[in-house]
Amino acid sequence: MSEFAGKNVLVLGGSRGIGAAIVRRFASEGAKTAFTYLGSAKAAEALAAKTGAEAIPADSADRATLVKTVADRGALDVIVISAGALVMGDPLTLDADAVDGLIDVNVRAPYHAAVEAARRMNPGGRIIVIGSTNGDRIPFAAAAPMRSPNRRCRAWCAAWRATSVHGASPSMRSSQGRPTAT
């Protein structure tokens, strides 16, 4: 029997790419798995049908929706925060609302989701934040808080003594697993 059999797992941003791979793995190990998605309903439906995981439409940029989604799962054993947003271009001409959305998803959402999960997490629970290799390539100083999930996670560990908090930044790969140019 797997160590994840019967465990309550939530993956934020789980319909495609790394998030979907995480959903497939936990579901194959017998975990009670749920995942959120925003713009990829067909991919989410297909993944849910294949794995038996629950697909939950939720926008990680909407704090109230995010917190409710995490709270509604009850006592979690694992939360994986994999949702991410990317806005590219000249910082002088980027749409301000798009940048706000990027910050909401990539910075605020991991914090709020982790706090809500930690409030009711089972003993020995895990909070895993998936970052981006692009976090260390952000060209402007205002984006420094987005740079490394490992830095964020170290700070959070001090607050949550009974919970293990982990950060991971994948290598240069697209969300669909195809190598990207560097």
Asked if the structure places residue 148 within a domain, the reply is: yes
What pLDDT is attached to residue 44?
A: 96
For residues 69 and 117, the answer to whether their CB atoms sit within 8 Å is no
User: Which pLDDT belongs to residue 172?
Assistant: 46
Could you tell me if residue 181 is inside a domain? no
The verdict on residue 175 lying in a domain is: no
In the predicted structure, residue 173 carries a pLDDT above the cut 90: no
Describe the crossing of helices 109-120 and 63-72 by its angle, rounded to 10 degrees.
Answer: 30
In degrees rounded to 5, what are phi and psi of residue 81? Answer: -100, 100
Q: What is the pLDDT of residues 120-154, one digit of tens each?
A: 899 888 888 887 655 555 554 445 444 455 445 54
Domain hosting residue 136, numbered range? 8-168
Q: Is residue 174 pLDDT above 70, yes or no? A: no
Q: What is the DSSP letter of 104?
A: I
User: Distance (Å, rounded) from C-alpha 35 to C-alpha 23?
Assistant: 7
Instruction: Report the range out of 39-53, 101-115, 163-177 with the highest average pLDDT.
Output: 39-53
The answer to whether residue 12 is domain-embedded is yes
